[in-house]
Amino acid sequence: MLDIKFVRENPDAVDKACASRQNAHWDRERFFELDEERRATITEVEGLQAERNAASKQIGLLMREGKREEAEAAKAKVAANKGRIAELDTRRGEVEQELFDLVAGIPNIPDPSVPYGKDDSDNPEVRRWGTPREFDFDPKAHWDLGPELGMIDFDRGVKIAGSRFYVLGGMGARMERALINFMIDTHVQAGFKEWWPPVITNAATLFGTGQLPKFEEDLYHVSPDLYLIPTAEVMLTNLHRDEVLDGSQLPLWYCAFTPCFREEAGSAGRDTRGIIRVHEFDKVEMVKFAKPDDSMNQLESMVNEAEVILQKLGLPYHVVTLCTGDIGFSARKCYDIEVWLPSYNAYKEISSCSNCWDFQARRANIKYRDPQEFKGTQYVHTLNGSGLAVGRTMAAIMENYQNPDGTITVPEALVPYMGGVEVITPEQ
């Protein structure tokens, strides 16, 4: 979340940022009403406490002088002040909670380098790698290749779970597992520490990374207080919630594989075929904790680390900068990596890498200490990125590596993880 002091001193900047995001709003008038009431309450409490302290001293003096009636009157005044102070303290707590909730609903301020735009059609391309394949036959979509090769079973997925679920079998199951191991190994070799977190989390954890309260409708509830995670970012970032990190150890690089669960509220009719937009999917996630002056460098590094996966797999892609109208709630700057999918004749998102600045750290209370740079503590910067979405990577491999006879060539880098299988055929 944003610093309340920043919001108080820079309301016009908040207005501008929300306007640039197109669909973001904050109640400026209510913010200043609450802020003024909070200040007035504090002032009144301080005045009453001063009166109480003075009256308490006077009571002792009056008692010593034998002025019992005056002392009793002073005691009554102290008691009245005490009751009023308790009322004001209760009201102050209510005001501060409403003020906190209001500020918690304001999205992050986009970095000055983020281009203005209305939606994803305004995201400028940064670079591209590889050339989309030109087929000398009619290529098939992964939703046709999968069932024909026994890799994906959509009907049974719907039968046992519901719409937007699927089952992987045979080489499909093996490729999913191979991709997970390949991605994790690549990141660990690059210097990431691997974690294996739970896939069930609590509300405080989801608040820390910004999923709650804004995106509650996209989450799966498993009990009144527990949820299935939408991404491993939630768990990896909150590993250090309410902690003070050692600045000399920064940056920290973490990665993890987890299943991810999303209701996909509001996505009716979008990417309904295949495994591009489903309720449960596997993903390898990267998270970094960095010093403020290094976080933008770490963002560029994180994008490169996701690109390495695609380059090793030989999959064409491009990188775009998310404009103000498309950037996520918690992000200050974000890049999307989009892989080429022949079935769409277009690039589709396979990784999103964000620098959240101190936005998540303030919500999750993650600070760091570096005595050589400053006294006390300050908020760390958090970053996250997909490295990569496993199902979408499989879909891209199936479509880009398909052969005229309906088989699929396994990318060379993945062959060792596939037990030496080089070509996937219907018989496997």
Active site residues: 262, 277, 349, 352, 392
Contact 357, 378 (CB under 8 A): no
Q: From 348, 384, 332, select the one nearest 20 (Cα to Cα).
A: 332
Alpha-carbon distances of 57 from 82, 336, 390, rounded to whole Å: 15, 67, 72
> Tokens 């944003």, residue?
2
Residue type at 166? Answer: Y
44: tokens are 């009144």
Contact 316, 293 (CB under 8 A): no
Pairwise CA distance, residues 35 & 29, whole Å: 10
Alpha-carbon distances of 108 from 16, 21, 50, 362, 364, rounded to whole Å: 12, 10, 40, 11, 15
300: tokens are 């560029």
Q: From 269, 270, 255, select the one nearest 349 (Cα to Cα).
A: 270
Pairwise CA distance, residues 59 & 193, whole Å: 65
State the DSSP code for 249. G
Contact 339, 310 (CB under 8 A): yes
41: tokens are 């309450």
Pairwise CA distance, residues 287 & 269, whole Å: 31
72: tokens are 């009793």
Q: From 393, 387, 122, 391, select the one nearest 255 (Cα to Cα).
A: 387
Terminal alpha carbon distance of the chain: 51
Instruction: Note the helical H segments in 220-335.
Output: 233-238, 295-313
Residue 167 forms beta bridges with which residues?
153
368: tokens are 């760091």
Q: From 122, 102, 104, select the one nearest 114 (Cα to Cα).
A: 122
Q: What SS3 class is residue 382? A: strand
State the DSSP code for 21. T
